[in-house]
Structure 1
Amino acid sequence: MSRRSIELDDRLSNDQKTFTLRRTRRGSHEAVTLSKRKVWNKAMAIERVRQIIGTDTPLDLATFDKKELLLGRVLGRGSFSVVEEITSICFLANSSSITSQHREELRLKEEERNFLAQHCLRSSGIGRPSPRYALKRLQTNGDWNGVADLVIESHFLRRLQHPNLIKIRAVSVGDAFHLGFFLVLDRLYCTLQTKLRQWKRDERNLWNCRRSSNMGERLIAAYHLGSALQYLHEQRICHRDIKPENCGFDIRGDIKIFDLGLAREMRNSNADGTYNLSHMTGTLRFMAPEVFQEGKSYNELCDVYSFAILLWQMIVLEQPFRHMNDEQTFVKIVFEKHGRPELAKVHPPRCQALLKKAWHAIPNERPSMSEVCSDLRRMTMEIEFGESGDFETASRRSTFIYDETENGNIMENLSDGSSKKSVK
């Protein structure tokens, strides 16, 4: 048996639902306590994680037993995961229900655990304190692909530090690859999808006193999203699923990308600078043509295309390709005939040129995210201050604080791409 298969066998045997997987002389496998299907699903999920993140590295994060976290309202549900707010953290390190191995792990991260417990709630002095953190876990048992997605997401989030990427604070205690694995993330208060609807309502309200600054606010949010993507690309990471449902706002109104479930590290490039990544990844409406095409290699420029479609939506406040609900029609018009959203509605006019370059059918004709951000920065300054002005001042002017009494549960979409109305 190869070293690789031996390691895989050893890793699988550590699960609480143990099984014996042994190779016979005829090369067949026998699963003892679990069905062959479950064994195979877990083995494939582990192998997928191993191929994406490489050798196992410990998560340098605080850890919690789920019994230590008091959960509040459900903020959102998806096809495989659920996000709930954390209302309190109560330490159980000396509890008999926690194993000695886990007790030692919890003790080693005592300082980080104490910090999170002390700052679990945010008090504004008005109304009840609001939770700072949220727990993301699997919605159903036995979904090893869901576990793999959470492990991959935690791998990327723990090593990335950017003001417009959601921050991971902790993970579940013990081995990462188990069905009870969860993440502790900063709580968001609004998705970009929700904010787009609010911007559209403001545009329709002729008496809205903030209408004049609305476009500047949208371009500033777009710039911050672009800067997060630029950072990912500098770290050799391709996001592959940029869309409104995967972006949100924190309590200060700062926009964040909160889904890295489909992100991949770009390794071993081809001669033309592309990478052999999986096709048909992400959401069709925002998917770059090269990602849709089977067998086509691509690189981070696919994110530039997706961002251009999203930028059009943030400017025009309409769903891109909203009249195309049939996949076959969409593929023919967008991917084969290079149809794009209408540019006549785009203002300022110089943004039209940026969009035409950024969603070009040929990836190498697109600008980098660094170039896109530079253009957005200049356009924002012109809108807010004319020919001269300070971008940071414009950015601060657009910042706002969410009033939870008005917004309620507003994290409507989870990072696994499934949209559900939030539960009150």
Structure 2
Amino acid sequence: MLSPPQAKNEESASKDDHDVASTTHQPTSHHPHLGATGLASIPEEVNEGLDETSRTHHEPIVIIAAATTAADVNDSGENSNSAGVVDVDEASNKIHRKVAQLAANSYQAASKKSHVLSNTILADLALVNIGELTIGKFLGSGSFSDVHEITNVAASGDDNEDDNEDNGNLNPRTLLTKHHERTESGTYRYAIKFLRSIIRSDMQRYAVGTVDLVLEGMFLASLNHPNIIKVRALPMGGVRSLLQKEKHDRGYFLVLDRLFNTLGEQIYKVWSPSCPEGHQMCIRKMFGMLPSRIDLKKRDEDLAVRLKVAFDLCAALKYLHSKNIIYRDLKPENLGFDVRGDIKLFDLGLVKELHPNDKDIYDNYKLSLAGTPRYMAPEVAMHEPYNLSADVYSFSMLLWEIVTLEKPMANYTYAQLKTEIFIDGDRPPLKNVFNKKMRDLISLGWSQRPKERPSIDAVYDELRNEFLRITKGNVSEIAVAHDRRRSTHVARSANGGVSLKHLMSVK
């Protein structure tokens, strides 16, 4: 098991080359559950860090300021003492109530137009009090959230239901309680994600972060794909949990499947040798020798492993696009591996459901700047309308990285990126992409013209065909199927599911 990174990687360590001028949203580490998302709007003129997420999609959220006088809390003075000092508990409760209402309103507004977000029932989801969770070691920290492992889940009355463990179907709560630990490996299955204390101490960021976390949890609960991280539990009472004093120290939280390393770690710590084609191949190339049959076989075997990861990732994007959801922040730090080695898409903080009535005559949508510059489509970076093809561009840049084991535009400043990539249309060299099918696919996918890019469905088919060709069909059916569960235990709906009216009501 690889440990999650505890510091920014070397390629983003130089402020001259990569760091963003504004440091308000830099993460302290890239943990698989967190990514590098930030909530601050970044002006166009700021030299954005190539690996930092930009997000300007939030409307301003205004919440009440902390009361400074008794009159600010209650005009009648009922909640102040005789000296006119503020009742701190009452002021705090008003803030938490306001944030809870904002989160509920945001979800209700989003779900009214949505074909994805449920406005009735969420199935296969447990509700837990944070006091029932034993929170273990710190795993990582992002710009807004911390992630810790969960080492125990207290039993409840629901755990006594007649669950059928023979076929792996369990009540969602039972799944958490009885199977939080993998006994054979001594690792834990689940992690908890909640806002960092420094965020919770700032009212504005606390409000924005809570709304984000609520919406992310609801999107994850509404989606079902083997290569998208699964949310297992939400706070008992939903947004009302924010009103309970004993929960103020953590705020809203998500219980997620635990991931163990990012795609970035896999590329640069596991896959990447000194030469992406292998040591023996390097020696032969140095002396002008043709690669041997063994060299070529090893090269194809290594490529097959990496193409399987790209193929699975493409399947997750295909699933999202089938629901008119654009991901907008595809990069190695937002992709992680579970204990089985399956790739998972996580951090849905920038996903956007597209509605046909909102598109223009060119089939584009007027959306905000969002994503990470290194992987961002030119039309997004240049503040132009865009559509699902922006994800295809990002995937193509990532596919180049997976195939070549090199960081795209590794030594570029943001100014170079803007001029040479976004405006002039330059791209990383394709000479190290020795597989012609992949070379052609990447070249089309990162086209400067969005309409020339293939759909994610077409990319999926090409990857599937090439993976089967390289492996000569010697793979199981499940390896190329993305409509099957891979977990040993699967949660089944309990009592018909969880009512959204219950979760999203502040009353």
Residue 142 (structure 2) aligns with: 78
The two structures have a TM-score, normalised by structure 2, of 0.62
In the alignment of these two chains, the number of paired residues is 347
Task: Give the Å deviation of 1:145.
Answer: 1.3
Query: Please, which runs of 5 or more residues in structure 2 have no aligned partner?
Result: 1-62, 65-71, 76-89, 114-118, 159-169, 243-247, 281-294, 481-507
Matched residues in 1 for 2:456 and 2:341: separation?
23
Residues 344-355 of structure 1 mapped to structure 2, 5 A cutoff: 344-355=431-442
**Residue among 466, 476, 492 paired with 1:392:** 476
Q: Aligned residue for 2:389?
A: 301
**Equivalent residue, structure 1, for 2:273:** 201
Contact 2:377 2:393 in 1 (8 A): yes
CA distance in 2, matches of 1:348, 1:36: 60
Do 1:203 and 1:211's aligned partners in 2 also have CA atoms closer than 8 Å?
A: no
The match for 1:257 is: 345
Match in the other structure for 1:287 = 376
Q: Does 1:192 align with 2:256?
A: no
Conserved in 2, the CA contact under 8 Å of 1:380 and 1:391?
A: no
Q: Aligned-pair distance for 1:35?
A: 13
Residue number in structure 2 paired with 1:106: none
Matches of residues 24-423 of structure 1 in structure 2 within 5 Å?
Answer: 33=91, 49=107, 51-54=109-112, 59-60=122-123, 61-91=125-155, 111-124=171-184, 129-140=186-197, 141=200, 142=203, 143-176=206-239, 178=242, 180-197=251-268, 198-201=270-273, 206=279, 213-267=301-355, 268-270=357-359, 271-279=361-369, 281-294=370-383, 296-324=384-412, 326-385=413-472, 389-392=473-476, 395=479
Aligned residue type for 2:193: K
Question: Which residue identity does 1:214 align to in structure 2?
Answer: D
CA distance in 2, matches of 1:39, 1:90: 28
1:233 alignment partner AA:
H
- Deviates further, 343-352 or 84-93: 84-93
**1:276: Cα distance to partner?**
2.3
Structure 1 segments unaligned to the other structure (5+ residues):
1-11, 14-18, 23-31, 95-109, 397-424
Residues in 1 aligned to 2:329 and 2:458: alpha-carbon distance in whole angstroms:
20
Decide whether the 8 Å contact of 1:133 with 1:184 is kept in 2: yes
| Structure 2 CA distance for partners of 1:37 and 1:181, relative to 1, 3 Å | closer
1:37 deviates by 11
Higher normalized contact order (CA 8 Å, seq sep 6+, divided by chain length): 2
Q: Which residue of 1 aligns with 2:51?
A: none
* Matched-pair contact (CA < 8 Å) for 1:52–1:264: no
State the Cα deviation string for residues 28-84 of structure 1 (Å, max 9, x = none). Answer: xxxx94799999988877765555444865654211111100011111111110111
Distance 2:306 2:274 in 1: 12
Q: CA deviation at 1:111?
A: 4.0
C-alpha separation in 2, matches of 1:235 and 1:308 = 21
Q: Describe the shift of the 1:158–1:38 C-alpha distance in structure 2 as closer, same or farther (beyond 3 A).
A: closer
Query: What are the superposed Cα offsets for residues 147-179 of structure 1, whole Å, 9 maximum, x if unpaired?
Result: 121111112111111111111110111232746
- In the alignment, is the contact (CA less than 8 A) between 1:134 and 1:185 conserved in 2? yes
Deviations 1:313-366 (A, max 9, x none): 000001001010x22221011110011111111120221111111111111111
Counterpart of 1:277 in structure 2: which amino acid?
L
One-letter amino acid of the counterpart of residue 169, structure 1: R
Is this contact kept in 1: 2:100–2:239, CA < 8 A? no
CA distance in 2: counterparts of 1:173 and 1:135, whole angstroms: 14
The Cα of 1:89 is off from its aligned counterpart by 0.6
Alpha-carbon offset, residue 249 of structure 1: 0.8
- Go from structure 1 to structure 2 and tell me whether the alpha carbon gap of 1:58 and 1:81 turns closer, same or farther (over 3 Å shift): farther
Shift of 1:286: 0.5
- 1:213 CA displacement: 1.7
Within 2, Cα distance between the matches of 1:36 and 1:113?
32
Is this contact kept in 1: 2:136–2:151, CA < 8 A? Answer: yes
Shift of 1:194: 0.8
Amino acid at match of 1:243: K
- Closer, same or farther: CA 289–166 of 1 in aligned 2, 3 Å: same
Contact 2:102–2:211 under 8 Å retained in 1:
no
**Offset of 1:196 from its aligned partner?**
0.4
Over 3 Å counting, the alpha-carbon distance change for 1:38 and 1:184 in structure 2 is closer
- 1:282 maps to a residue whose letter is G
Change (3 A) 1:43 1:168: closer
SS at match of 1:73: strand
SS in 2 for 1:339: coil
- What residue in structure 2 maps to residue 412 of structure 1? none
RMSD over aligned Cα, in angstroms?
Answer: 3.3
Question: Matches of 2:111 and 2:209 in 1, distance apart?
Answer: 16
Larger CA deviation: 231-240 vs 172-181: 172-181
SS at 2:471 equivalent: helix
Compared CA separation, residues 229 and 355, structure 1 to 2 (3 A): same
CA separation of 1:203/1:86 partners in 2, compared to 1, >3 Å: closer, same or farther?
farther
